[in-house]
Amino acid sequence: MNETKAIEFLGKKITQSKVYGEAPQTDCLRFYTEGKTRQYFDIRVYEKHGEECAMESEKPEIEDRFRVYRKSHKVLWRKPESEDFLSFNRFIIFKTAKHTK
């Protein structure tokens, strides 16, 4: 998997999870590759700002970091303020719990 495919794959996975709600769709997210090795890409995701991508003001700005493995397509999420990588399912649980409080 190359870098472009890794970003597309991650974008689809995020959109399908609806963890950020119905919006933003991937058009309202930015993807930045922070690092890469032969095994994986480390990708930061954050929201775009502007009229087309207006987010609800009471929600915090989206910024998450992921590791996408080239061969297995496995996606891990880096827990905020930590170096720990957790499963994508743990990301969904964490974000869902955070937004329901």
At 58 the pLDDT is 46
Look up the domain containing 79 and give its range. Answer: 3-100
Residue 101 bridge partners (DSSP) = none
Distance CA 41, CA 38 (A): 8
Tokens of 42: 């480390």
Q: Is 43 helix (H, G, I), strand (E, B) or coil?
A: strand
Number of structural domains the chain divides into: 1
Residue numbers of the chain with a pLDDT score lower than 50? 57-58, 101
Distance CA 98, CA 101 (A): 6
